[in-house]
Amino acid sequence: MKLILGNGKTAQSIARFLKGQGIAFQLIKDTRDIDDHNILQSIDEIFISPGIPQTQNIVIWARAQNIPVTSDIELFSRYTKAPIIGITGSNGKSTVTQLLGEMVANDGKKVAVGGNIGKPALDCLSSDVDFYVLELSSYQLDYTQTLNLLTGVVLNITPDHLDRYPDFDHYVKSKLSLYRYCQHPIINLDESLTSKIDNAKCFGIDMPKQATDFGTVTCHGSCYFLKGDDMLMAVDEMKLIGKHNITNILAALSLGDQIGLNTDSMIATIKTFKGLEHRLEWVVRKQNIDYYNDSKATNAISTIKAIKALIHKHKTISLILGGIAKDEDYSELFALINQHITSVILIGQSTKIFKTNIKTPQTHATSMQAAVDIASNTDCEAVLLSPACASFDMFDDFEQRGNIFKQCVNNLGGKI
């Protein structure tokens, strides 16, 4: 008998899959419903939602009894026949996953994209797929012991989810565990926490050292993507904004090259790829103000990257900031805001914490509509929603927060 723990879409996808396979299971939505261990006597494996931390009593007990506690990703890997590409990182993994998926499709291959983005992995299973491209969270990797990846990458590692791990080192180990499962690893040379791996394909902002590696070069004031010594395209030709997206594109190129995609096809995809919703998404221009939705920025480093991307395009920026602050160092973000942001509109629980550290003129708003109204009346060229915080104090998730922001922007008066 299998036990499924959880109440989200991952748990539901596991239940659908096991039912389809004719495998007996019991679904428990809340671990608090297990008031004794009698229910576990016939259980030989537990499939767990990634949202349930390893510190839960049921997880500790099961591991002490040598009962496997398994992710949906590992279960998925047992049944798939097509190659799997795994992508993780503190930031950028959704963008790279989606971009690579579009590269595969535009190269004439059949692809399924999912995991921690879009569909749960098990809902992607099909006999009619050439490649699976999966975004993998640290939570999913924590419950994975066996996984067969053709190739994969750890994009970057910065402090995040520290409420879930004893310390940063444990979070780093969780991310780097992806490489245990890779036949052909991809390494970001600009990520100092990634160890050297023999025979890995590499990418980085600097010029490539190997003919098969990807990088960039600046020549006569313009920056270009390179594979080895070969120039591929000018950075200005991509629709994505920001230096961090240059790195994301290099990662996607490296992964695509590793699985045999045509380079010209990949470049054509990059030139038309507009990015993902809620990731530094340009919304509209109204009354000479550009509005950007970066609701996915739930930590400091994400907001830092967003600001750095926009300050090269806009001289004055109003920033909507706040929510549930994470256990991380915000000092670099505060310094950047104080230097480059024209005005700040604070929302959510973090207002008191942020208020004392930000010297830029600031206002407090009790709703997203109020925040947008205030920002639209400041003297700025751009309004940026990039909260640097979780959303659960005011919204269901970052998607709802971003969608409400866009609705509020569209409700503003004035011509587009």
**Residue numbers annotated as active site:** 93, 116, 161
**Beta strands of 209-321 (E only): which ranges?**
214-219, 222-227, 230-234, 281-286, 289-293, 317-321
Whole-angstrom CA distances from 284 to 57, 342, 367 are 48, 20, 20
d(CA 299, CA 352) in angstroms, rounded, equals: 17
Provide the token pair at 10: 């991952």
What is residue 202's DSSP assignment? E
What is the DSSP secondary-structure string of 110-178?
-EEEEESSSB-GGGG--SS-SEEEEE--HHHHHT-S---EEEEEE----S--TTTSSSHHHHHHHHHGG
User: Do the beta carbons of residue 103 and residue 35 sit within 8 Å?
Assistant: no
User: Do the beta carbons of residue 313 and residue 333 sit within 8 Å?
Assistant: no
The helix (H) or strand (E) run that includes residue 68 is: none
Return the number of other C-beta atoms located less than 10 Å from residue 241's C-beta. 19
